Chain A
Amino acid sequence: MAFARRQQSVIPGFGITLGFTVFYLGFLLLIPIAGLLLYTAQMSWDDFWRAVSNRQVVASYKLSFGASFIAALINLVFGAIVAWVLVRYQFTGKRIVDALVDLPFAMPTAVAGIALVTLYAPTGWIGQYLDVFGIRIAYTQLGVVVALTYIGLPFVVRTVQPVLEDLDKEVEEASAIMGANRLTTIRRVILPALLPALLTGFALAFARAVGEYGSVIFISGNLPFRTEITPLLIVAKAEQYDYPGAAAIGTVMLLTAFVLLLIINGLQWWTSRRYR
């Protein structure tokens, strides 16, 4: 408390900004979440358990969380490389590439989904060649990963970019002078500095992918037990006026995502302390 008061005296506006933050978060986040929990609370424990542990629902959790995790991992690796290229090298068209990265944010997800399925369907531009080798992307779980990778692309790039910009080249040079080879420099000098930002980007991409609906339903094929994502099941429940059932699955998703994000944030906090 003493800490807060001291802050207040140096930087004015603590009371009003905190008040606004609480109101803002309450209005935008807590009230809808409370509504979700309220709907769920109408169910008995048995009904709740039956709704969320049904075999079809469990299969969809596996796909939703699994594909989101893989997509976030892909973005972690390639997002870091894109950020590296954009920060460290000068080349013509750099600004355009930089702007392109944000495109998945701006494009309506349904448009993205239709575009992806046009490319990857067995008759599509890319899909017809992959089909020759027996690789199917559209209407398989692979298609779900592709869509989720697409929508999560900007997160890692945008979180890593500013950190990389702040990282002085001199540090790398010092590392080289002290006899480290390139791999060691990356492993011991650059990666530790980037790790917190990488984790944040990973967490954001993952969270975004878990909730994604619009683009996935076009490319996944939506076969129950195989390519059906959890958000689609929630829509299906709502379509049958089973609002408590929909809310129950929503609650499970929310809690799982929250716990996973908490773990990732904890990791991030831990790494940023460790390498300070």
Chain B
Amino acid sequence: MRRFNLRKLALAGLVTATLGLSALASAQTSLLNVSYDPTREFYREYNTAFQQHWQTLKGETVNVRQSHGGSGSQARAVIDGLDADVVTLALAYDVGALHDRADLIPADWQSRLPSNSSPYTSTIVLLVRAGNPKNIKDWDDLARDDVAVITPNPKTSGGARWNYLAAWGYALKKYGSEEKAYEFTRKVYANVPVLDPAARGATNTFVQRRIGDVFIAWENEAFLSVEQLGKGEYEIVVPSVSILAEPPVTIVDKNVDRKGTREVAQAYLEFLYTDDAQRLAGKHYYRPSNPTIAAEFADRVPAVNLFGIDEVFGGWKVAQETHFNDGGVFDRILSEINK
């Protein structure tokens, strides 16, 4: 009995030691990329490519771990201590919180990499059911009384903030005043029958529950839905004007300096701008930031008249404070709808 216990103990010790050692070994060449939901497929392929690149360049094996979730909650997890080496989130506001709330990155983080630190971009499009039964052509149709619109709550979902700003920006450009833009956006949100807290839930509502006539979506997600859920089931309607969605990336300085992974983390992000990685982004229906590579994919993603968040809204911070914070424009819209 006693011997058995000893052997068991020895075995347990051995297992623990091995686990500990392997943890140590991997700690030296392991990266954690904290990202948002729809980048799952892209980064799975990208990580393999980067591993090969790093192996041939340095002769080192690097192990990249991924974490996916809603962009805002992911940022909060990193602020609360999740050990991310790099973050690749849906909007600059969430990345900026890493500086504003926890001083994990410097204030000028967005100017450290090309194209506003967004190696790939996307835009907001409209997904409709096969045959486009409600004949939806552009943003204006979303304000019609007979159309039900599915989009998540911009208060809880980062992606949904792009949706909201795309609609607002369209109206502002077309009708020329803030009041008209407010009126238009209010009409669109009055047509929302279900307001999911996150983008994934909204996709389910539109696809599985078959609620709503039009789903406001990121272009890359819209293409994925069409591809995965059957080509005959949905159609993508590209609006005349939309927003340039820039999901930015950065290394998390405090974390990489503590873990000694700055060099590999930096290389990981810079590799996103190489031709191969840009093509990979294009393959996953993102818009490559490199114009030459983007041209190769021109027949896959249609040309849209895009406006930036800085030119129309004065940047994320202002947009957040004006529209989405408590007592902001979105709250006003909600309480007017529910008078």
Q: What is A's interface to B at a CB cutoff of 8 Å?
A: 51, 54-56, 59, 117-118, 121-124, 138-139, 217-218, 221-226, 232, 235-242, 245
From DSSP, what is the main secondary structure of chain B's interface residues?
Answer: loop
Q: Are A221 and B326 in contact (CB under 8 A)?
A: no
Q: When chains A and B are docked, how far (Å) is the Cα of A261 from the Cα of B147? A: 45
Give the interface of B toward A (CB within 8 A). Answer: 72-73, 76, 97, 101, 153, 155-156, 192-197, 201, 208-211, 324-326, 331, 334-335, 337-338
Return the contact of B335 from the options A56, A237, A240 (Cβ within 8 A): A56
Q: Give B331's nearest chain A residue, CB to CB.
A: A56
Residues of A within 8 A of B326 (CB): 51, 54, 237, 240, 242, 245
Known: A121-B209, A123-B209, A217-B197. Contact between A225 and B153, CB under 8 A? no
Q: Give Cα A92 to B156, complex, Å.
A: 49
Given A224-B195, A224-B338, A235-B156: A240 touches B325 (CB 8 Å cut-off): yes
CA of A124 to CA of B326, assembled, Å: 36
Measured CA separation A65–B63 after assembly (Å): 49
Pull 28 A–B residue pairs with CB atoms less than 8 Å apart, ordered by A.
A56-B335, A59-B338, A121-B211, A122-B209, A122-B210, A122-B211, A123-B209, A124-B209, A139-B194, A139-B211, A217-B196, A217-B197, A217-B201, A221-B195, A222-B197, A224-B338, A225-B334, A225-B335, A232-B197, A235-B156, A235-B197, A236-B197, A239-B72, A239-B155, A240-B155, A240-B325, A241-B97, A242-B326
Chain A residues, Cβ within 8 Å of B156: 235-236, 239
**Closest residue of B by beta carbon distance from A123:** B210
Count, A-B residue pairs, CB within 8 A: 69
User: B155 and A223: CB pair below 8 A?
Assistant: no
B209 touches A138 (CB 8 A): yes
Looking at the assembled complex, report how far the CB atom of A53 sits from the nearest CB atom of chain B, in whole angstroms: 13
Contact B194 A221 (CB under 8 A): yes
Please name the residue on chain A nearest to B100 by beta carbon: A241
B102 CB to nearest A CB, Å = 11
- For A220, the closest partner residue in chain B by CB is B194
When distances are taken between beta carbons in the complex, the residues of chain B under 8 Å from A237 are: 326
Q: Which residues of chain A have C-beta atoms less than 8 A from B324's C-beta?
A: 240
- Residues of A close to B209: CB separation below 8 A: 117, 121-124, 138
Instruction: Name the CB-closest residue of B to A217.
Output: B197
CA–CA, A184 to B208, complex, Å?
51
In whole Å, how far is B93's beta carbon from the nearest beta carbon of chain A?
10
A222-B195 CB under 8 A given contacts A235-B156, A236-B155, A240-B155:
yes
In the bound assembly, the distance between CA atoms of A51 and B201 in angstroms comes to: 27
